[in-house]
Homo-oligomer: A and B are copies of this chain.
């Protein structure tokens, strides 16, 4: 499962590289071969290097952990920032490339690329919010369909090419290549290479998720990585070979006749039949799943950062369904923003992509070099060399990507990563500051522990107000019930009810009855009269604590929640913001569905 991300990138890596070769016209595709060869070579270096990381960090060696432990906290934070950016782009590119495949198959949906992208994002978001659980089979099947159908299509294509002497006849002719408007330059090839590098961005995921493998975990994870890298290499090489054999070039991703490379290739080899739609369908699914892996990785990294207090504690808190709600929602928001700004067009997102992943790779592998230097192993020289080569290779790739893609959007990533690094440090500094400021090294005061003055705002006499009133009387003998009266006509009834239902029973039981205070509010305002009254009370009794009880209606159905309690929430916020340090807010819940047993409410 963890290889999804890596495999799915086979679907957009070649596409991204070829799109940049459009200006070269038909000549461009001849360069697809050599560029793919360099990418596959880099992939093998990465594979060897990460194989070692896995062995050294059997409990999950994410770039953040490896860099932090070996190169120090600051390198770790840079790696974390780079990875977070990378995950957001994995999600955005996965979805947009999937939708790119979809609109290639169904061109009528071309105008709705962005809404479709956002709809898929919403589905992934909701699935992750609810927690995924044991849905392995649901995910595994389309992945196998993807691998089998794509490799099958490639095999058929290679066979036809070989039997036709290198000039196969396409079943459906791909769109004509545009005329060349530029000649090949090292610059253009570098840009194309750096785009193609996005095909490698998924390798990190396997290393990060090592703990989910069955024992022997390291061995299995290494085997998985080997299989994934082999499959990815095979797919990349096959696509590169067939693209030149069939004369397939990228089409303008903004244009109305956009056709993804995989769609053109599949249509050329097997025609637009059942196999075509199965292949494209599995591409869409696998790419959406690769976006889904970001929804696992991003919150997990946020949790690690939050535990180290570099992000708000909330990111380390599991929600009701044991998922990290905070991280999931932030990722969904960022991905949605990115998709919206770039119109859901993969091609515009690519320039931002590779840098984050490669920076994390470089830091992680540099960390591994440091790791080996500290070890007492006889193979440490070789091991350090392999990781060193990996670090240098990905470092060079970063430089190429940065230079080649700077104006196209790489500058955004270059601003974001230091910005996030700065934020991490600010958050840490803030937590340290608060800890220091609230530090207490003296004994608790034991004087002046009088019970609070309790204020109970009541709108009408109901089971809810009765419960709040009872709680108030439990904690203090000084209870004041405040009724804000917007309608003077109803006052007599209110007073009569008070007399019969509260005042008399209390006297009968020998208790001091609560005081009833009625505040007229002709303009139907609720908050200001109440807040004014509490401030007045505070001035009158500067030494007393004031406890305001607010009833809270708990609904059996969550979608009823917005219908209630908003006033209580506002009032609580207003009380807190008024900075009256002697005010405490008490929430007395009332459970609506238990209405038939309200006697059991205390």
Residues of A within 8 A of B (CB): 111, 114-115, 118, 254, 307, 312-314, 317, 319-320, 326, 340-341, 343, 427, 430-431, 434-435, 437-440, 442-452, 461-466, 469-471, 473-476, 500-502, 504-506, 508-509, 511, 524, 526-527, 545, 547, 552-554, 560, 562-564, 566-567, 570, 572-574, 576-577, 579, 581-592, 594-595, 600-602
Which residue in chain B gives the minimum CB-CB distance to A574? B320
Residues in B with CB closer than 8 Å to A476 are: 475
Residues in B with CB closer than 8 Å to A524 are: 307
A563 touches which one: B427, B527, B588 (CB < 8 A)?
B427
**Additional 18 contacts, C-beta under 8 A, given A554-B579, A587-B587:** A111-B254, A115-B340, A312-B564, A313-B563, A314-B567, A438-B462, A438-B463, A438-B464, A440-B463, A440-B466, A444-B469, A444-B502, A445-B466, A450-B474, A452-B475, A471-B545, A474-B545, A581-B591
**Contact: A501 with B464, CB < 8 Å?**
no
**Contact: A508 with B446, CB < 8 Å?**
yes
**Contact: B449 with A474, CB < 8 Å?**
yes
A225 to B540, CA, bound (A): 54
A and B contact pairs by CB, cutoff 8 A, 15 listed = A115-B340, A314-B562, A430-B563, A434-B553, A435-B462, A440-B466, A443-B504, A443-B505, A444-B501, A444-B506, A552-B576, A554-B579, A579-B594, A581-B594, A584-B586
Residues in B with CB closer than 8 Å to A500 are: 443
Residues in B with CB closer than 8 Å to A448 are: 602
Residues in B with CB closer than 8 Å to A447 are: 509
A460 to B235, CA, bound (A): 56
Known interface pairs A438-B462, A553-B434, A584-B588; A452-B470 also in contact (CB < 8 Å): no
Which residue in chain B gives the minimum CB-CB distance to A556? B579
Q: 10 tightest A-B contacts by CB?
A: A314-B566, A446-B509, A475-B475, A438-B462, A443-B505, A437-B595, A585-B587, A443-B501, A312-B563, A438-B463
Residues in B with CB closer than 8 Å to A582 are: 602
Known interface pairs A434-B553, A567-B317; A602-B502 also in contact (CB < 8 Å): no
**Contact: B451 with A470, CB < 8 Å?**
no
A509 to B584, CA, bound (A): 25
A600 touches which one: B444, B570, B581 (CB < 8 A)?
B581
**Contact: B442 with A501, CB < 8 Å?**
yes
A442 to B465, CA, bound (A): 12
Known interface pairs A461-B440, A466-B440, A505-B444; A589-B600 also in contact (CB < 8 Å): no
A82 to B307, CA, bound (A): 50
**Contact: B473 with A449, CB < 8 Å?**
yes
**Contact: B505 with A562, CB < 8 Å?**
no
Residues in B with CB closer than 8 Å to A461 are: 440
A356 to B437, CA, bound (A): 56
Residues in B with CB closer than 8 Å to A435 are: 462
Known interface pairs A118-B340, A585-B589, A586-B584; A576-B563 also in contact (CB < 8 Å): no
Residues in B with CB closer than 8 Å to A111 are: 254, 343
Residues in B with CB closer than 8 Å to A427 are: 563
Residues in B with CB closer than 8 Å to A588 are: 584
A100 to B152, CA, bound (A): 48
**Contact: B576 with A589, CB < 8 Å?**
yes
Known interface pairs A440-B463, A502-B443, A600-B581; A566-B449 also in contact (CB < 8 Å): no
A471 to B444, CA, bound (A): 12
Which residue in chain B gives the minimum CB-CB distance to A509? B446
A590 to B500, CA, bound (A): 40
Which residue in chain B gives the minimum CB-CB distance to A475? B475
**Contact: A564 with B434, CB < 8 Å?**
yes
Known interface pairs A313-B563, A446-B505, A601-B581; A341-B115 also in contact (CB < 8 Å): yes
Which residue in chain B gives the minimum CB-CB distance to A341? B115
Residues in B with CB closer than 8 Å to A594 are: 579, 581
**Contact: A340 with B340, CB < 8 Å?**
yes
A411 to B566, CA, bound (A): 34
A473 to B448, CA, bound (A): 11
Known interface pairs A474-B451, A502-B443; A579-B562 also in contact (CB < 8 Å): no
A115 to B338, CA, bound (A): 10
Known interface pairs A438-B595, A509-B446; A602-B587 also in contact (CB < 8 Å): no
Residues in B with CB closer than 8 Å to A566 are: 312-314, 317, 326
A584 touches which one: B115, B577, B587, B600 (CB < 8 A)?
B587
**Contact: A570 with B312, CB < 8 Å?**
no
Known interface pairs A437-B595, A450-B474, A567-B314; A584-B576 also in contact (CB < 8 Å): no
Q: Chain B's nearest CB lies how many Å from the CB of A576? A: 5
Residues in B with CB closer than 8 Å to A314 are: 562, 566-567, 570
A307 to B118, CA, bound (A): 35
Which residue in chain B gives the minimum CB-CB distance to A584? B588
**Contact: B445 with A474, CB < 8 Å?**
no
Residues in B with CB closer than 8 Å to A313 are: 563-564, 566-567
**Contact: B592 with A583, CB < 8 Å?**
no
Residues in B with CB closer than 8 Å to A475 are: 451-452, 474-476, 547
Q: Chain B's nearest CB lies how many Å from the CB of A325? A: 9
Residues in B with CB closer than 8 Å to A319 are: 570
